[in-house]
Structure 1
Amino acid sequence: MAIRFRLGLIINPFAGLGGSVALKGSDGVAEEALARGAKPKAQLRMQQALDVILPHQDKIEVITASGDMGETLAKDMGFDVRVVHHVFGKSEARDTQAMVKYLLDEELDLLLFAGGDGTARDVYSVADENMPVLGVPAGVKIHSGVYGITPHASGMVVKMLLDGELVSLMSADVMDIDEVAFRKGTVRAKCYGEMLVPAEPRFIQAVKMGGIEVDDLVLSDIAAEVIENMEDDLYIMGSGSTVAAVMSELQVENTLLGVDLLQDHQVIGADLSASQLLDMTKEQSVKLVITLIGGQGHILGRGNQQLSSELIKRVGKDNIIILSTKTKLKALEGRPLIVDSGDPELDKDLCGYYRVITGYHDYVMYQVANPDLN
């Protein structure tokens, strides 16, 4: 009998719950997020990754936890599943940690887990230095370098391993932020350690570069360009310091780590959830103003899950306005901007070249091109 690929599988069912309802995370607020109408998406994100390796399912043994932590999805997809940890009631961080502890004795080829930075921390707290891991991005805040750039990208890396391609391992940072401070508008990030991940830079995200832009003159120039061209449309203002510069120039309140809605240079909705944005932009002409995450290049799907795929389709590709300093773009070293909307078909449609505003009457043509979708 041929030796099969031993794939550890962990899903944090509550990962990302707080994003669409403007809670900016899920740690400790899962019940509140569900009460606000949030829909769990971690299962779908993991399914998108596993879809890539479905043709190889006869070569794979999935070792996982019961129910929503992995068993249900893997069995429904037709994988051969062995359950080594049973969850009673709602899964918690300790279940992830217990699962990793069991997997230490399984001589895994890879541990694939779906979650955010909190989940990565839970895995790291138990995993040893020799356990190869890979994250499927499903959380709100993903600063860690242990995740694929999209769920499909994570699946592509597993496929490379199954195809016998030479894939090296590298150490990547496990990062996390204080969600309580984050909800108050403060980013307080910390590196907790490193884990081994496949060294495939096309598909594995870089660690987020933190910090506030210090070049106020450049930000003011970008803001002046945006404001000069504002029309009578509704403007959805995304998160981040570059977009915040536009709000500052307009002298209106801004949710640094949330999404606001403008009309006639005035805020008509602050720190809005996905459902609120859909309600308030119905049958309206809408533009979306966003910036990229420094170091990673993501413009959608990291910290702005309020921008749902339905909303982005409503806005349309031609009405997406991207802002960035040239310093941020240069730091990408030629890597494209990335969209991870949760809808792979939409992500493909959004690929192409965009005119990025980099100053007053100053633009750079830059590509959005998810490497795992090309």
Structure 2
Amino acid sequence: MHVGIAVNPVAGMGGRVGLKGTDGKVAEAVERGAEPRAPDRARRMLDRLAAVAPDATVSVAADPMGESAVRDAGFDPVSVVDPFGGETPDPTATTAAHTAAAVRAFADVDDGGADVGDEASDGDEPAAADPVDLVLFVGGDGTASDVAAALEGTDVPMLGVPAGVKVYSSVFAVSPEDAAEVAASFSRTERREVMDIDEDAYREGEVHPELRGVAHVPVADDLQSSKQTASGTVESLAEGVAADVRERDGEGITFVLGPGSTVGAIKDELGFEPSPIGVDVWRDGEVVVRDATEAEILDALGEENVIVVSPIGGQGFVFGRGNPQISPAVIRRCDLRVVASRAKLDDVRALRVDTDDPDLDDELAGWVRVRVGKFETRMMKIV
């Protein structure tokens, strides 16, 4: 097996600082104190890959797009693709063009001097090794779109290690470790959709996924499906949860109310306008922080805290997709309440978490009571 590895070092940086994405917002994310997420996700995937496929042949993009991480995991890459023309840029200076140039080299694609390659390497195409059997990339939907475009017209499959804020495409594994397992064991591929959304519209609360491509993807149970919007009413659910929250007003309990339409209905029932796809903090009858960042949530927490979240329809993720502001540090200080419509739960086999903290993921695993109505609950398992 020959794997080509490319890491988008800025993927997901905007999440915990409340930007809902990083496309065009890297500088602002840095100003807000954002920390890189993708390198750690890459290391987790590579550590597992080294364990399950130690003899794998690896090509990799030059630093800051993965070379050091590959070597640290114990692999001696057969090819280091340099899309930077011999320079080593600051990670925040990497672009979609660099990703595309590296992927084309992995697949041994001759672009005939296309602009994207020239932009990435000042006119010199990166050196290509033998074509890879799989492109394994670390990033989000924007990175997936770049990889798919670079592989267009080839049969080379792609698989994503999820590191972005939004992950709508069905080309990603559930976790970094799962990506390594799939890469090491897949025997067939199928065509899957690459989706992305307009992040500016997303920040305003409008979610309009657009098809950006169709790619060959390894087939395995650990691949997630695209996000789907579940049908069904949440009015009675919202009424019941809001009533419970109001009963605790005056007790100093801090409620961290996650994003999404289901929890948004609870916010409406509490009498305030939800922040667009953001996290709001409520205590003693009023909004303490609206559209909060991770740091603002941590500052607002008290002695007793409760997170209210709803899983993503079609995927079942409770944490790790679309709500990175609710970080491991926040989760560890809160009790968890999961809410969902019956229709949403009918679309998922199990709930999932991907918090960036494997120990916390293990702690959260197991059976959890999900509120599905004004009074009704259903038991679901977090796997």
Same fold (TM over 0.5): yes
Q: Which residue of 2 aligns with 1:108?
A: 132
Q: Which residue of 1 aligns with 2:341?
A: 325
* C-alpha distance after superposition, 1:148-179 (max 9, x if no partner): 01111112212324xxxxx3211111000000
* C-alpha distance after superposition, 1:57-84 (max 9, x if no partner): 6512221111120111111222112212
Root mean square deviation, CA, Å: 1.4
Contact 1:22-1:272 within 8 A present in 2 as well: yes
Tell me, yes or no, if structure 1 residue 308 matches structure 2 residue 327.
yes
- Give the drift of 1:255: 1.3
Contact 1:46-1:136 within 8 A present in 2 as well: yes
5 Å-filtered alignment, 1:324-343, equals 324-332=340-348, 335-343=349-357
How high is the sequence identity, in percent, across the aligned residues?
A: 37
Contact 2:197-2:208 within 8 A present in 1 as well: yes
Query: Equivalent of 2:235, from 202, 220, 223?
Result: 220
Distance change in 2, residues 1:294/1:56 (3 Å): closer
* C-alpha distance after superposition, 1:61-117 (max 9, x if no partner): 221111120111111222112212242322111000111111121321211000000
Q: Which residue of 2 aligns with 1:372?
A: none
- Give the drift of 1:271: 0.6
- Give the drift of 1:228: 2.4
Q: Which residue of 1 aligns with 2:28?
A: 32
Distance change in 2, residues 1:58/1:290 (3 Å): closer
Provide the C-alpha distance between the structure 2 equivalents of 1:149 and 1:18, rounded to a whole number of angstroms: 20
Query: Equivalent of 2:98, from 88, 95, 100?
Result: 95
Q: Which residue of 1 aligns with 2:244?
A: 229
Tell me, yes or no, if structure 1 residue 79 matches structure 2 residue 98.
no
Amino acid at match of 1:299: V
1:52 is paired with a residue of what secondary structure? helix
Amino acid at match of 1:193: G
Contact 2:351-2:381 within 8 A present in 1 as well: yes
- Give the drift of 1:248: 0.7
Amino acid at match of 2:184: K
Tell me, yes or no, if structure 1 residue 119 matches structure 2 residue 122.
no
Q: Which residue of 2 aligns with 1:353?
A: 367
Contact 2:159-2:218 within 8 A present in 1 as well: yes
Provide the C-alpha distance between the structure 2 equivalents of 1:68 and 1:60, rounded to a whole number of angstroms: 22
Amino acid at match of 2:269: E
* C-alpha distance after superposition, 1:164-195 (max 9, x if no partner): xxx32111110000001001111111011211
Provide the C-alpha distance between the structure 2 equivalents of 1:349 and 1:268, rounded to a whole number of angstroms: 29
1:9 is paired with a residue of what secondary structure? strand
* C-alpha distance after superposition, 1:124-170 (max 9, x if no partner): 11103411111000000000000001111112212324xxxxx3211
Query: Equivalent of 2:65, from 62, 66, 69?
Result: 69
Provide the C-alpha distance between the structure 2 equivalents of 1:174 and 1:53, rounded to a whole number of angstroms: 24
Stretches of structure 1 that go unaligned for 5 or more consecutive residues are: 162-166, 370-374
Stretches of structure 2 that go unaligned for 5 or more consecutive residues are: 109-129
Query: Equivalent of 1:18, from 14, 17, 33?
Result: 14
Tell me, yes or no, if structure 1 residue 53 matches structure 2 residue 49.
yes
Provide the C-alpha distance between the structure 2 equivalents of 1:83 and 1:310, rounded to a whole number of angstroms: 36
Provide the C-alpha distance between the structure 2 equivalents of 1:151 and 1:78, rounded to a whole number of angstroms: 17
Contact 1:60-1:80 within 8 A present in 2 as well: no
Amino acid at match of 1:35: E
Provide the C-alpha distance between the structure 2 equivalents of 1:299 and 1:341, rounded to a whole number of angstroms: 9
* C-alpha distance after superposition, 1:254-300 (max 9, x if no partner): 1131100001231110111111111111x421000000111111110
- Give the drift of 1:56: 5.2
Amino acid at match of 2:328: S
Q: Which residue of 1 aligns with 2:117?
A: none
TM-score by length of 2: 0.88
Provide the C-alpha distance between the structure 1 equivalents of 2:260 and 2:177, rounded to a whole number of angstroms: 26
Provide the C-alpha distance between the structure 1 equivalents of 2:303 and 2:21, rounded to a whole number of angstroms: 29
Tell me, yes or no, if structure 1 residue 180 matches structure 2 residue 200.
yes
* C-alpha distance after superposition, 1:8-50 (max 9, x if no partner): 0000000000000000000000111011010001010011111
Provide the C-alpha distance between the structure 2 equivalents of 1:46 and 1:265, rounded to a whole number of angstroms: 42
Q: Which residue of 1 aligns with 2:286?
A: 266
Provide the C-alpha distance between the structure 1 equivalents of 2:140 and 2:67, rounded to a whole number of angstroms: 20
Provide the C-alpha distance between the structure 2 equivalents of 1:136 and 1:56, rounded to a whole number of angstroms: 16
More off after superposition, 152-161 vs 69-78: 152-161
Distance change in 2, residues 1:284/1:83 (3 Å): same
Query: Equivalent of 2:307, from 288, 292, 301?
Result: 288
Provide the C-alpha distance between the structure 1 equivalents of 2:101 and 2:263, rounded to a whole number of angstroms: 41
Q: Which residue of 2 aligns with 1:145?
A: 170
TM-score by length of 1: 0.90
2:150 is paired with a residue of what secondary structure? coil
Contact 1:253-1:267 within 8 A present in 2 as well: no
Query: Equivalent of 1:7, from 3, 8, 16?
Result: 3
Contact 1:57-1:79 within 8 A present in 2 as well: no
Distance change in 2, residues 1:95/1:223 (3 Å): same
2:41 is paired with a residue of what secondary structure? helix
Q: Which residue of 2 aligns with 1:164?
A: none
Tell me, yes or no, if structure 1 residue 205 matches structure 2 residue 230.
no
Provide the C-alpha distance between the structure 2 equivalents of 1:114 and 1:198, rounded to a whole number of angstroms: 16
1:68 is paired with a residue of what secondary structure? coil
